[in-house]
Every structure is written in structure tokens, then in C-alpha cells.
């Protein structure tokens, strides 16, 4: 091992070259408090300070990336494990899932506007698919009884064909089934991120002549409410 004065001189030289304390300690096995005392009066040039700052930033970025990668890994593992908890979904479970979904997002009949049919409006493609599946398997609604309307900001008029193709792919219906389009006027004022090429508006699913179905769903919802209250 080098004498203490030589270690000190080597530490000072490394510091002047722009090495950080942690980098110096890897080459010179001394306590950080000792190193701090040796280097207290060592001045650094502007370039050396910039070099150290750059190293600290790079180290912070590496640490941030490592934490992000670890979070993604843990999150994916949790998703995979919790997904197994679902298993098979029975008809009754699907029925109740649809009832809850409609309670949250479906159109409710108003006293001042009786006779309105079953309608479901959302921008989430997975919710739309689940609702259509529910209409088919639980409510026995045929494809010919369903109509669609798209609500989208008017500055997306040049993307209409792409939007119709998107919703046709999501629902399994033909692009010609998405001719009813309503435009939202004015500037987009939202904190949402999906307002560029990932924005496809909001889709309304409506069942033709379905006031009876609407009231039946309302009865199901009331049954759930009464069970708990």
C-alpha cells in the first residue's frame, strides 16, 4: 500500500482531472471523511465542474432508468399473477359485469323523456367490446339492432376514414355502420394525452327500439342497489 502522503497526492491529482469522490475512492481505499479533508482546498476549473456535473446527471439518469425498469418488471409480474385470479367467467358473472358497466356509463331513462332506448357511450375500446359482448350473450341483441354514432372534435375531419376503420376493427362491424358522426366544436381543452393520432373520439352504441330493455336494465340495477341498501 502507498504511503499516506502519496495516496493524498494521487487523490488530489485525480480530483483535478475531474473525478468524483466515489470514483476516487474506488482507486484509493480511504474513508470518505479522510478524502474530503484532503480535497477540501482543491479548486476545480469550470470545465472540470461541468464534467462532474455531467457525471452526476448521467448517474442520476442511470438510477432513474433502473428504478423505472424495476417498477415495470414488478408491475408486469403483479398483472400476470392477478390476471390468473379471474379464471373462467360464468354467464351470471358476465350479466352482473354488464349491469355494473351500464350503471356507470350507460344512458338512463329520464322522467321528462320516457321511452328512450339503451345506449352506452365511451372512448375505451375494451369497454365497448365488453358491452357489445354483453348485449349479444346476455340480452340476445342481434347486430342488425345496433347503431353507432361517433363524437369527435371537428379538427379531426381529415381523419374520419381512419377513425371509422378503427371503430369497425374494435367492434367487428363494417365501416359503413359508422356514418353518423357528430363534431365537437371549439378548441380542445383537456389534460388527456390521447388527443393526437391516438384519438378516435367517443363511440355511442345504441340499441334500436329498446325502451323495454332500458327499463329491464334499470330493474337489474335497482336489484343490486336494494341488495346492499
Q: How do residues 52-102 score in pLDDT, each as one tens digit?
A: 777 777 777 788 888 888 899 999 999 999 999 999 999 999 999 999 999
Average pLDDT over residues 147-169: 95
pLDDT band at 26 (very low <50, low <70, confident <90, very high): confident
Q: Give the integer Cα–Cα distance in Å for 225 and 6.
A: 81
Residue 65 falls within a domain, yes or no? yes
Is the pLDDT reported for residue 39 higher than 80? no
One domain for residues 58 and 162: no
Buried b (16+ CB within 10 A) or exposed e, 29-40: ebeeeebeebbe
Predicted local confidence at residue 195, as pLDDT? 58
* The pLDDT of residue 115: 66
Per-residue pLDDT, averaged over 97-124, amounts to: 88
Task: Look over the chain and give the mean of its residue pLDDT values, rounded to a whole number.
Answer: 86
Q: Which of 128, 108, 134, 116 lies closest to 222, judged by CA?
A: 108
φ/ψ (deg, to 5) at 147: -125, 160
Q: Is residue 135 over pLDDT 60?
A: yes
> 203 and 135 in one domain?
yes
Within-domain flag for 70: yes
Q: Which of 80, 104, 138 is the last residue of a domain?
A: 80
Residues of the domain holding 35: 4-80
CB of 148 closer than 8 Å to CB of 181: no
Give yes or no for residue 190 having a pLDDT over 70: no
- Structural domain tally of the chain? 2
What pLDDT is recorded for position 187?
Answer: 62
Report phi then psi at 152, rounded to 5.
Answer: -150, 150
Q: Return the C-alpha cell found at 107.
A: 344512458
Residues in CB range of 122: below 8 A, 6 or more apart: 105, 128, 131, 202, 203
Residues 213 and 115: beta-carbon distance below 8 Å? no
- Say yes or no to pLDDT of 164 above 90: yes
Do 113 and 66 belong to one domain? Answer: no
Q: Are residues 64 and 158 in the same domain?
A: no
Proportion of the chain above pLDDT 90, given as a percent: 57
Q: Are residues 133 and 192 in the same domain?
A: yes
Provide the 3-class DSSP secondary structure of residue 171: helix
Give the integer Cα–Cα distance in Å for 204 and 107.
10
Task: Using the predicted structure, report yes or no on whether residue 27 has a pLDDT greater than 60.
Answer: yes
pLDDT at 191: 56
Picking from 80, 103, 135, the residue at the C-terminal end of a domain is 80
Q: Verify that 151 and 58 share a domain, yes or no.
A: no
128 pLDDT higher than 80: yes
Q: Are residues 124 and 46 in the same domain?
A: no
Asked if residue 86 is part of any domain, the answer here is no
**164 and 108 together in one domain:** yes
Query: Are 106 and 149 in the same domain?
Result: yes
CA–CA separation, 32 and 22 (whole Å): 8
Question: Do 48 and 148 share a structural domain?
Answer: no
Residue 85 included in any domain: no
Kindly report the pTM of this predicted structure. 0.69
Amino acid at each position: 500500500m502507498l504511503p499516506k502522503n502519496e495516496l493524498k497526492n494521487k487523490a488530489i491529482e485525480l480530483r483535478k482531472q475531474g473525478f468524483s469522490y466515489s470514483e476516487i475512492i474506488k482507486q484509493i481505499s480511504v474513508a470518505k471523511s479522510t478524502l474530503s479533508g484532503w480535497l477540501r482546498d482543491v479548486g476545480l476549473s469550470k470545465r472540470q465542474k461541468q464534467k462532474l456535473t455531467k457525471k452526476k446527471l448521467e448517474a442520476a439518469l442511470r438510477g432513474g432508468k433502473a428504478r423505472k425498469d424495476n417498477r415495470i418488471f414488478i408491475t408486469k409480474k403483479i398483472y400476470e399473477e392477478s390476471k390468473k385470479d379471474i379464471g373462467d367467467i360464468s354467464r351470471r358473472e358476465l350479466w352482473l359485469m354488464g349491469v355494473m358497466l351500464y350503471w356507470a356509463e350507460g344512458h338512463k331513462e329520464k322522467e321528462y323523456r320516457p321511452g328512450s332506448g339503451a345506449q352506452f357511450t365511451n372512448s375505451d375500446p375494451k369497454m365497448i367490446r365488453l358491452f357489445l359482448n354483453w348485449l349479444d350473450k346476455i340480452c340476445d341483441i342481434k347486430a342488425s339492432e345496433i347503431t353507432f354514432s361517433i363524437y369527435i372534435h371537428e379538427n379531426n375531419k381529415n381523419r374520419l376514414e381512419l377513425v371509422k376503420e378503427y371503430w369497425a376493427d374494435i367492434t367487428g362491424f363494417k365501416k359503413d355502420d359508422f356514418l353518423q358522426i357528430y363534431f365537437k366544436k371549439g378548441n380542445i381543452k383537456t389534460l388527456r394525452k390521447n388527443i393526437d393520432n391516438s384519438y378516435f373520439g367517443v363511440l355511442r352504441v345504441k340499441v334500436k327500439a329498446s325502451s323495454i330493455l332500458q327499463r329491464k336494465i334499470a330493474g337489474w340495477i335497482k336489484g343490486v342497489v336494494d341488495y346492499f341498501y
